[in-house]
Structure 1
Amino acid sequence: MADRGRVGSLIVGSKSCAEKCWRKDHDLHRAKLRQSRSAVDISSPATLAMDHFRNNLKRERLLEDRYVEIDRENQVLLKKMSDQMKKPNPYLKEGPENKPTSLNRTSRKKELQSITKENRRMLKAIQEVKPVYSVKNWDENYKKSAVLLRNCSSYPVITRLPRERSTSSVLMQLDPEADGSGSLSHSRQGSPQIRSGEDHDDPKYVLKEGKRIGATYYLLEMSTDGRVLNISAYDGETQTSLELVVKEKIHRLLYRELNGDYAAVADRLKVDNSRLILDTSGLPGA
């Protein structure tokens, strides 16, 4: 079946060479089209420069007559309005004003004056009154109370919990063989004992206490799921939280070495560059 979209045969020895030849012929064809001149004269005829083509005298005459008619109607309307304003109003009758005098006019005038005087007095009292409560004084008293509360408290005062936790800290790996140095984990399950092969859905904490690490006082929380140990340290002054996840190997070594005393595990915690670190030196196999 012949190819109606092309000129020539579709079978070629080299498709790339055929493509180059086709593109070259196509470019030559487009160049010739750009250089070709039209055989038809498409320039404007010389008759367009005549006056009767450029100016429509009949339309201008009709517009001029219309404007004259509008001007004449406006003049007639203005004259009618002027004549109407000069005439007296037939519906307004100006007669002698013989209104009866009110008997209680004086009393009503005095009553109105007394009401006006009372309104002025109340307005002046409202404008000059001072507020009983002051937001500025409340703010100053709150700041003073906060200072006194911090001075009287032995530990940092926590007024609210943070909205979000900071980046979790991890154990620093000292050598390539330290497999259980630390890792990130998203699990928050807990169990108070070291058990293998058991999973618990409800989180249970093994330690909740306040402890001073370095120069900062933290609120510590430890939870475990029987394998990993999750440690969280909250700083009430800066409203920040540090987290550490101890892998199962280090957790078991600490549990056997310290006889399950998580308070002793808390004594091994350190803070370095806003990262919570657990000191695993001295553990066998660590």
Structure 2
Amino acid sequence: MFREIPTVNRLLQKKWNDKDQQIHLQKLKNAKSTFNIKKRRSSSRRISKSTSKKDKIQEDRFKQIERDNKILLQKMRRIMKNHSGVNLPFEKGSLNKGMRKKQLADITLANYQLLQRLQDKKSNYNVLKWEKDRIDNKKLAQRIGIFSSTMVDPAHSKSKQALPTLKNPRESTTRMTKKRMKKNYQTELQPLEFPSSFPKRAKTTTRKRKRTIATPEEDGDKAKDLDLAKVCSIPEEREVIFQASKNDGKKYEVEISQTEDKMFIAAANKVKHSEHYLIELEKEKGEEILKEFNNNFQVILDNLKVISRRLVLLNPNINDPKRANTTRNRTRKKNFRKLNKRGNASQPSLRPGTVNSPSGDLMGVMPETARPVSPTQNTNDLQA
């Protein structure tokens, strides 16, 4: 502290040190003692001071209780005077009632969705096919076998692997019983007769025999239950213009309907409802097609075909034999033959009117493909 430290100005440094010393001495003079060195007071005075504090706290507590009692008394007087009608009956309830209701609703919805999936799932096995195969196998076994039918049918034949029955030694077997048992054994395990020569096979012919497979008969009620709006996903708010049945190898239910801006041509198999087709058109385009058919719905029904799992509406001008020999068609065929001789002719289009498929992207009317045009002929004559 008092060592000599080199400074720039020794006089100023001495002056600063003296000032710091005075400040330090002044702080020591003003410091207060941490110990109470004064004479202690008597214990009686200290006890009286503590008791007075307790009495004050208890007095404040009594005042607070008295004030609360006054407030409660005022409320009771007000209720007795005004006769408050708020007197709700006590009802027992559970705090978990809302949560239990929500869980029950979720479980019910999940069960309903599971039931829908089970009902919509198709079976992997066909019982009708099993029954048909069993009948065919039984007939085939009867044709090629030399044993009786009871030996072929497992329901009537005895199992060769069955264990023999134990005989009771006390039971008496007579001579006739043994003979009858021996006879039954021979008839079941021996052939009925051994033919000297097997029958000759019938001559085979190249003509194919038409095979018919028994299908379940169509009930009238089943056809009535067919709802094309539900099967083909058509709006319920539609106007049905035409509805009829069509037999094109399979029986279909055909319906032509329209809404404010759309026209629908729907067809569904009466037996197999999953086989359904839909043609969706703009209303203006549908009216143009109706004009081409002269609003004859029977002609539209005749020109509807199912080709390669697609519902196709053929052009009436090409399918109608009366119109096939018109001047335009003759000119078209003549120009096509000319171009074919030159070697640059392409296949002429038949212009399918409307095409739709459940698995394809073709919706509504297909545009007419390009036709070959002769350089000497006007293009207006070849327009569709």
Return the TM-score normalized by structure 1: 0.30
The structure having more radius of gyration, on CA atoms, is: 2
Which structure has the higher relative contact order (CA within 8 Å, separation 6+)? Answer: 1
Return the TM-score normalized by structure 2: 0.23
